Amino acid sequence: MGGRPVSRVAVVVIGYDDRAHVGDAVRSALAQGSAVAEVIAVDDCSTDGSAELLDRLAAGESRLRVVRRRENSGGCGSPRNDGIDAVTAPWVMFLDSDDLLPPGAVDALLTAATGAHAEVASGLCVRRELPSGRERPWQAPLYAAHTVLARPSQRPRLVHDTLCVNKLYRTDFLREHGVRFPEGRFLYEDFVFTARVLAADPRVVLVPDRVYVWHVRRSAERLSLSLDRERVENWKARLEACALSHGILLGAGQRELAREARAKFLDHEVRMYARELESRDARYRRAWWTHTREYLARYEAADWTVDPTSPGRLLGRVVLASAEPRDLRRLRELAARPARLLPPYARASDGVPVWSADLPQVTLGPLLTRPTGVLPLAVDARLRPRARVSVLRLRLHELYGRVAGAGPRELEARWHRREDDRVAVRTTTAPTASGADLWTAEVPVDLAGLGEGTWDLRLTLRFADGAHRDVTAHALAGAGRLRRHAVPSARYGVLLVQPYATHSGALALRVATGARGIAGVARGRLARLLH
């Protein structure tokens, strides 16, 4: 083959009313080169000219075929199934109309699949936030190295990567096992499809190559299904998809994968939605809490035994143990990444750590033996902007004697610019004991050294026993602590500094520099008010 895969792959591109992006998606598939035998673009009854655009592209490209649905399906499953039915190539992969395949993606997956005689090849997907362009890898630990698995149960964590788009599938494997997507308006259809793939027990190869770019457009007029979480119906759809996926795996005898799927629900789904729960209205909270309790009531005792004080399992236990929503701020902090467990730190009558005095059945006892480097340590933070050197005040809370036992020796504070993750200011100090339950530290912050942008505070605690823990800081609110400040600056004339709490409660800063930067902030604020 001359070192390059021959034309053996079909790329199924699906789209609905996405004329602005679908052409780029199709071109990224065609640009993969000779390994791509066909690109099948399935238009889900668009009304914005998408289908006509695809027809024009197909007129000049023999590898591109356009399939037009007569009725809109309301979801992504039906058009993908149409694509599977239309495929003639021995391998198939999927691409959404607003995403891209990076150069070399198909070659990397096909070479790995054929070399390992695998039915499924999977690679690294990166989430690209737009318009900033900031990228984050999705489920990166799975793709740290080239790995061949004779069966999925050798790596139960495979169930955490529910995406269908960063994978190459042998077409006959899907057809032989009847692996298809749910039809119609079924949200999170890829959860179910992935469960069906894993239930069929394929040979799998994992590659560290970037094979998919997932565009996250939070400011779009029409949010993607996974980002549109403001209605409780979205949560109910997730529950339905997770329940169906678990049943598929369990029914196929994949008990390890089924148990890992339940752990994934706690560690991913519950944590993600719990971070936002405090900002929802009372009706949403009650409905979310009720549906979650009903779902968790189906868990078996063994589903709770693995790592019982991991953040997701603690969240689930609190929800299951209480009939009404409670401790929302504390749950939000515990759901953060990394997790922060805020005080109070209660004990039962026998001295065992518990969630709270009125919820003693949720034990925190395993925290007493959990490694220091993974403890949910809580740090409070307050920034005091000043004309010369601003001051960041930090308070580290004791956690059942574990912090004192490890001996906090050093605290490193770093400011990461959200747009590109660049570290602008790094400061190291020593925390000082302040009473029995707190260590405190003051860190100077050069705001001019930060410059324009949004900045996230990240901390690393190092202990005398050699352990270290990466944490974020809980933003202290109230008494004007998170209000906007205008600070004189020798470099810029003036800085506009806005400390604020992120969705997970962590301290972050927005900084505008000079008169032009401040004018931009004012225009943005006016536009939001008018909108």
Q: pLDDT for 282-324, tens place per residue?
A: 999 999 999 999 999 999 998 888 777 789 999 999 999 999 9
**Which tokens go with 289?**
């809490």
Identify the pLDDT of residue 127. Answer: 94
Mean pLDDT of the chain: 92
Q: What are phi and psi of 158, to 5 degrees?
A: -55, -30
Identify the pLDDT of residue 515. Answer: 76
Q: How far is CA 214 from CA 30, 137, 241, 358, in A?
A: 18, 10, 21, 44
Query: Is the predicted pLDDT of residue 222 greater than 90, yes or no?
Result: no
Identify the pLDDT of residue 530. Answer: 45
Please report which confidence band the pLDDT of residue 479 belongs to, taking 50, 70 and 90 as the band edges. confident
**Which tokens go with 53?**
């655009």
Residue 306 half-sphere exposure, CB side, CA atoms within 13 Å?
A: 14
- Find all residues with CB under 8 Å of 56, minimum gap 6, and list them: none
State the chain's maximal CA–CA distance in angstroms.
Answer: 77
- C-alpha–C-alpha distance, residues 61 and 78, integer Å: 25
- C-alpha–C-alpha distance, residues 296 and 299, integer Å: 5
Please report which confidence band the pLDDT of residue 525 belongs to, taking 50, 70 and 90 as the band edges. low
Strands 474-475 and 379-384: parallel
Q: What confidence tens digit (pLDDT) does each residue in 423-475 have?
A: 988 999 999 999 889 999 999 999 989 999 999 999 999 999 999 999 999 99
Q: How far is CA 448 from CA 181, 365, 416, in A?
A: 52, 45, 14
* % pLDDT > 70, the chain: 94
Query: Is the predicted pLDDT of residue 231 greater than 50, yes or no?
Result: yes
Task: Please give the residue that has the higher pLDDT: either 522 or 239.
Answer: 239
Mean pLDDT within 37-63: 95
Please report which confidence band the pLDDT of residue 531 belongs to, taking 50, 70 and 90 as the band edges. very low
- Between helix 19-30 and helix 50-59 the angle, nearest 10°, is 30
**What is the three-class DSSP state of 421?**
coil
Identify the pLDDT of residue 420. Answer: 83
Identify the pLDDT of residue 516. Answer: 75
Hey, what amino acid is at 511?
Answer: V
Query: Is the predicted pLDDT of residue 1 greater than 50, yes or no?
Result: no
Query: Is the predicted pLDDT of residue 528 greater than 70, yes or no?
Result: no
CB atoms within 10 A of CB 86: 15
Identify the pLDDT of residue 2. Answer: 46
Of the candidates 496, 396, 378, 404, which has an alpha carbon nearest to the alpha carbon of residue 442?
Answer: 396
What predicted TM-score, i.e. pTM, was given to this entire model? 0.90
Cβ contact 63:30 at 8 Å:
yes
Of the candidates 268, 257, 330, 266, which has an alpha carbon nearest to the alpha carbon of residue 295?
Answer: 266
Least confident of 35-44, 326-335, 418-427, 515-524: 515-524
Q: What is the DSSP string of 19-58?
A: HHHHHHHHHHHHTT-TTEEEEEEEE-S-SSSHHHHHHHHH
DSSP secondary-structure letter at 301? G
Q: What confidence tens digit (pLDDT) does each residue in 102-161 have?
A: 999 999 999 999 999 999 999 999 999 888 888 899 999 999 999 999 999 999 999 999
- C-alpha–C-alpha distance, residues 250 and 257, integer Å: 8
Could you identify the residue written with the tokens 């057809």? Answer: 175
**Cα dihedral: 86, 92, 93, 95 (round 10):** -20
Identify the pLDDT of residue 227. Answer: 64
Identify the pLDDT of residue 521. Answer: 55
